[in-house]
């Protein structure tokens, strides 16, 4: 199960993840470090295509920071917001400030060396998971799972 976490997107809307996510199926991408953005970007074209193809699918980027940075949230989120001119990308980027060790443990994430991707339902059921760079094999796996759960 994906744990319940709270965050705010870069348009300042509050989210309880996973229940407030818009799709029946939602892919959440979890980057831990700024340089992970290049890995997230590798997935973007394919995920935009999936959103166009499947009305029940949405994807989100969930930058994950330690509680200790919460006091700097205004600066961190503001910097991200300023660096993303596309409103649709700001809406799908939800920053969370939490105990990263507990969060990683709950999802069996061994390190913060790459991004992690989870296809989840609004109830938090994890239907698929992967990590790292985009590959056609991973993309096909994800698409096949979405096809199985097509509503």
Task: Tell me the residue length of the chain.
Answer: 151
**CATH code for the structural domain at 5-148:** 3.40.30.10
Domain boundaries, the chain: 5-148
Low-confidence ranges of the chain (pLDDT < 50): 81
Cβ atoms of 118 and 107 within 8 Å: the answer is: yes
The number of helix segments (H) and strand segments (E) in the chain equals: 5, 8
- Whole-model pTM: value is 0.88
CA dist., res. 50 & res. 58, Å (int): 8
pLDDT in tens, 79-99: 554 555 666 767 888 989 889
Residue 108 Ramachandran class (φ > 0 left, ψ -120 to 50 alpha, else beta): left
């Amino acid at each position: 199960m994906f744990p319940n976490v709270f965050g705010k997107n870069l348009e300042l809307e509050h989210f309880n993840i996973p229940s407030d996510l818009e799709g029946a199926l939602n892919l959440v991408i979890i980057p831990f470090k700024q340089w992970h953005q290049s890995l997230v970007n590798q997935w973007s074209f394919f995920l935009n295509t999936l959103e166009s193809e499947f009305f029940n699918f949405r994807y989100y980027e969930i930058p994950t920071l330690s509680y200790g940075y919460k006091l700097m949230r205004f600066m961190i989120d503001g910097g991200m917001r300023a660096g993303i001119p596309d409103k649709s990308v700001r809406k799908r980027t939800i920053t969370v400030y939490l105990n990263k060790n507990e969060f990683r443990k709950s999802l069996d994430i061994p390190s913060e060396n790459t991004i992690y991707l989870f296809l989840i339902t609004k109830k938090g059921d994890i239907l698929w998971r992967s990590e790292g760079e985009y590959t056609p094999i991973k993309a096909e796996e994800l698409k096949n799972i979405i096809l199985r759960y097509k509503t």
